[in-house]
Structure 1
């Protein structure tokens, strides 16, 4: 009788430890998933901000160039656009590493912003800007889709 009780106690202890281990596994997995979501949202926010800043800088730069502004003003706008372009790189890399399945959408949003350079006229500049905004919105939607999956 005592042996049976001891065996039952040992089996109960092992089963209890197994249940606790499984619970801890799922909690840890959930925490890792949440941490990934948090980092991806931060990277998306930083990339979206950097792309918006770069679009704005490129609009000013190209508008000055197309309107025949003073060369010093065009040069200053060019320098400002170089700063905003550099600010795109880090969040672009971070988001690509965190969500590699969105690499195509990330690259499309970045390329669309860069495409504003050298617009032939104001109509083309406006079209490039709209394409860049659309690509950034598509990236946001794609990211939301990926992050909303269980």
Structure 2
């Protein structure tokens, strides 16, 4: 009888150790996945904010040249602005997919940046640029408040 109790105790101890080990491994996997997801979301937002800043700059240069009547400079700046606008597409899509709670702020920041096109004059261009910066700042604020998990 003593032997049977000892064997059962050993088996129970082994089973308990196995279960605790499995639970610890599962908890670790969940933590790693959560950290990976947080990192992906943060990277997507960072890439989008960077792309928006590059496009804002390109559009400011482009529209300044257009308003000044510099056709040669405008043509080159227009080509650059097309490239910077295209560079917004992937990070905007990633933010929308990975952080749906930030989709409206991201879309608003992109739309405000696109609105620089065709400004009536230098003052309007400056106002549109400031509005685009403010929209991007709202995205950053929303991302900061978001758990990013």
Query: What is the TM-score with the length of structure 2 in the denominator?
Result: 0.91
Give the structure 1 partner of residue 13 of structure 2.
12
Aligned-pair CA distance for 1:11: 1.6
Paired position in structure 1 for 2:134: 134
SS at the partner of 2:146?
helix
**Gapped regions of structure 2 (runs ≥ 5):** none
Secondary structure of the corresponding residue to residue 117 of structure 1: coil
Matched with 1:21 is 22
Check whether the contact 2:51–2:84 (CA below 8 A) recurs between aligned residues.
Answer: yes
Mapping of residues 1-150 of structure 1, within 5 Å: 1-67=2-68, 69-147=69-147
CA distance in 2, matches of 1:109, 1:25: 39
Alignment RMSD (CA, Å): 1.5
TM-fit CA distance, 1:34: 1.0
CA distance in 1, matches of 2:10, 2:49: 58
Does the Cα contact within 8 Å between 2:42 and 2:148 map onto a contact in 1? no
- Distance (Å, rounded) in 2 between the aligned partners of 1:138 and 1:29: 31
Instruction: Could you list the structure 1 runs, at least 4 aligned residues long, displaced by more than 3 angstroms after superposition.
Output: none
TM-score of the superposed pair, with normalisation by structure 1: 0.90
The gaps in structure 1 that reach 5 residues or longer are: none
